[in-house]
Amino acid sequence: MKFKRKIAPEIKPKQNFITKKRLREDQINFDKLRSYRLDRVRKELVKNNLEACILFDPVNVRYALDTLNMSVYNMHNLTRYCFVPVNGPTILYEYFNCEILSKHLNLIDEIRPAITWDYFSNGDQADNQLLKWTNEVKDLSKNYFKTKKIAIDVLNGPAVTALNKEGIEVVDAKLILEQARVIKSPDELTCMKAAIEVAEKGVSKMRSDLKPGMTEDELWSILHKTNIENGGEWIECRILSSGERTNPWMQESSNKVMQQGEIVAFDTDMVGPYGYCADISRAFVVGHKFNDEQKKLYSMARNQIDHNFRLIKPGMSFKEFIKKSWVLPDEYYGNRYSCMVHGIGLCDEWPQIRYPTDGGEEGGTFEKNMTITLESYIGKVGGKEGIKLEQQYLVGENGLELMSHHPLEDI
């Protein structure tokens, strides 16, 4: 079914300026990339007996329609969203006066101004705005989801209540989008390779510039700069620490001054070019000379990743993996990382596979063209330091294929 695109006309003549090609840009068929992802969303809707979804999460909006605008801002403000039906027009509800930003995207059939109802944006007019938004969704329902059941990924309480009062049932779109994003297309894999290359550029510079007297923040800023100047977008976390701050793990980058002989470890969590995530962890020693205890920790982390790498094959159940995974010694178990494996794509994605005592996902299966990371944190409970390593992989025909090629330390 063909829909007439209702998109704001150009507000100024075509501009002429010079641009620099992004990494691997010529290797990516963007039309195929976008069509593949939107098709995956629609197939998951059908699989779950749904006719449509409304997406607020900027990562989900990016996946479905490849449109972006103020992504981090819109993670905590409901000011930009999209409507994706199984049969009908895709509609982007865009932030004030920003329609022009997505006019080049031909999978978007219509762009409308976003109706916002949060207190920050509307103050004492929030209730009136919520009524307008509810009426808009009712209108969409009449035409595109007559079951009056809609999947939405992020929504506040008043909006859910308002839709329920109108007889519209809201279900969680998280499952829909997470499952849609699991299997990567060839163009997605090229995007991911570009993101990883940028991350590894930054990691190599961090290693070469590391010296006593630097603060953790100064070292961490190198990755941010490298990401932005190579077309990347943001970094999800600030997890970099040194010396005694590496145990326990998850401490954020600070103004601590790093000293000769200390471990410095970090997790990139980097959303790079084309919106894809490069998620690797590395551990260095200031001065690049490991002592015996640091070598022991590092070797254990490598052993965990190597063991789990050899296990995983297409068709292996998560339950079987958990049973056969590397056994973390008791004196380190209390400081274990939150998971052993997680999916990766536009950000950390399903599945997240935890340690045996921690519950979590057990029902799935590793499939060809999933992309995952293997995690290890080794730090004795009450110990001085710890080591964090993480590698990014493609689930290939015969097992895991390494996507992150920045070398681990030769100890």
Rg (CA), the chain: 23
pLDDT tens per residue across span 140-167:
999 999 999 999 999 999 999 999 999 9
Report which DSSP code applies to 95: -
Give the separation between CA 317 and CA 362, rounded to whole angstroms: 8
- Do 235 and 72 meet the contact criterion of CB atoms below 8 Å apart? no
124 vs 157: CA distance, rounded Å: 17
> So what's the pLDDT on residue 15?
75
Average pLDDT of the segment spanning 251-276:
98
Best CA proximity match to 350, nearest among 196, 223, 205, 180: 180
CB-based contact 188:38 (threshold 8 Å): no
pLDDT at 2: 42
Q: What is the pLDDT of residue 26?
A: 97
Q: How far is CA 362 from CA 170, 304, 307, 371, in A?
A: 26, 20, 19, 17
Establish how many alpha carbons lie within 13 A of residue 295's alpha carbon, considering only the half-sphere containing its beta carbon: 6
The confidence band for 179, taking pLDDT boundaries of 50, 70 and 90, is very high
Q: What is the mean pLDDT of the chain?
A: 96
Report pLDDT for 361.
84
3-state secondary structure of 356: helix
Q: Per-residue confidence at 3, pLDDT binned at 50, 70, 90?
A: very low
Contacts of residue 33, Cβ cutoff 8 Å, sequence gap at least 6: 66, 185, 187, 188, 191
Q: What local confidence, expressed as pLDDT, does residue 4 receive?
A: 56
Cα–chain center distance at 55: 15
Of 6-20, 62-76, 358-372, the range with the lowest mean pLDDT is: 6-20
- Check whether 346 has a pLDDT greater than 80: yes
Answer whether 178's CB lies under 8 Å from 16's CB: no
Mean pLDDT throughout 247-259?
98
Give me the residue label for tokens 């070019």: 273
Taking Cα atoms as reference points, which of 173, 93, 92 lies closest to residue 132? 93
Average pLDDT over residues 285-300: 98
Q: Which of 80, 79, 78, 90 is nearest to 42 (CA)?
A: 90
Segment 379-405 shows an average pLDDT of 97
pLDDT in tens, 53-83: 999 999 999 999 999 999 999 999 999 999 9
What does the pLDDT look like over 188-226, one tens digit per residue? 999 999 999 999 999 999 999 999 999 999 999 999 999
d(CA 84, CA 54): 6
Per the rule left: phi > 0, alpha: psi between -120 and 50, beta: everything else, 24 is: left
> Cβ(391)–Cβ(367) under 8 Å?
no
Cβ neighbors of 359 (< 8 A, separation 6 or more) are none
pLDDT of residue 1: 37
Residue 383 in this model has a pLDDT that exceeds 60: yes
Q: Is 255 helix (H, G, I), strand (E, B) or coil?
A: coil
Query: For residue 8, what pLDDT is reported?
Result: 58
Mean of the pLDDT values across residues 323-345? 98
Tell me: the pLDDT tens digits for 221-250?
999 999 999 999 999 999 999 999 999 999
Question: For 48-72, where are the alpha helices, taking DSSP H only?
Answer: 58-65
pLDDT bin (cut points 50, 70, 90) of residue 16 is: confident
* Beta carbons of 357 and 402 less than 8 angstroms apart: no
8 A C-beta contact, residue 247 and residue 261: no
